[in-house]
Amino acid sequence: MGDNGKIVAARPYPSPSSAVRLTEVTYMSQGLRVKGLLAEPTANGDYEGLIYLRGGLQHVGMVRPARIAQFAQQGFIVFAPYYRGNRGGQGRDEFAGDDRFDALYAVDVLTQYYNGARIHIYGFSRGGIMAQWLGIMSDEVTSVVTWAGVSDVTYMYYERLDMRRTLKRIIGGTPEKYPQRYAARTPLYALHHLHAPLLIIHGEQDQHVDVEHAYFLQSCAQALQKEVTLWLHEDEKHHYHPHVNVQTVRALCAWMKAQ
């Protein structure tokens, strides 16, 4: 396991912008070869680091080059792990199981391209729960942003009828039979280990990840006297309207840099 975070391969990847250079990186995580995408601004500048944690599961919600390039153009060197079992990576995508370590060792990958001290975490949807866990597991985090993020896996099992079969397959049963397995994937129970400022973003009309996840996370953070900010958008769903999306990305990037 001593090779965790070690880069074993890197190749240029087509970029949607001449202002951003993309590289697909293969690195080690718990003995597995895992892949991810790195985005670096081509111009010299004073940049900060960002771990981008994608949503979805397996091929659904895969890292989009245009999306991480958007963050790179806001002044960040970005690394976005695909998670194990994806795009030729070894292992199995586990939805906030041991794949949490793929996010943890992604920080080590990023530090081989970014030598600064400020590393931010951003996660969308499923990536939101990964972002919370990374903030809990790492002491190197400057800030954590979760957008439309899952915070309670048990609640997700009950709210998303279409996800029940998948969650049962990944986790190995139902919350009734294995409540401890669902609790072990839920960051709310370990949030006392989070020390970085937390920004929660959620659309109140979200039908994929209920806004209750945002309220759960905010309430838990407040009870633990954590530094937490909540941005709710009453007319937005899981995916925001394009102009609101752009405005929100700019605002959250400014928030991260202010921490």
**Catalytic option among 192, 195, 233, 238:** 238
Which whole-number Å values give the CA distances from 37 to 87, 150, 235, in the listed order? 11, 23, 32
**Catalytic option among 125, 138, 143, 151:** 125
Asked about 151 being catalytic, the answer comes back as no
Q: Can you say whether the dihedral through the CA atoms of 110, 114, 116, 122 is positive or negative?
A: negative
Asked about 238 being catalytic, the answer comes back as yes
Instruction: DSSP letter for 155, please.
Output: H
CA distance 155 to 173: 15
- Computed over its alpha carbons, how large is the radius of gyration of the chain? 17
Helix (H/G/I), strand (E/B), else coil: 259: coil
Q: For residues 136 and 156, is the Cβ–Cβ distance under 8 A?
A: no
Burial profile 198-223: b = 16 or more Cβ within 10 angstroms, e = fewer: bbbbbbeebebbbbebbebbbebbee
The two structure tokens encoding residue 258: 């202010």
**Active site members:** 125, 238
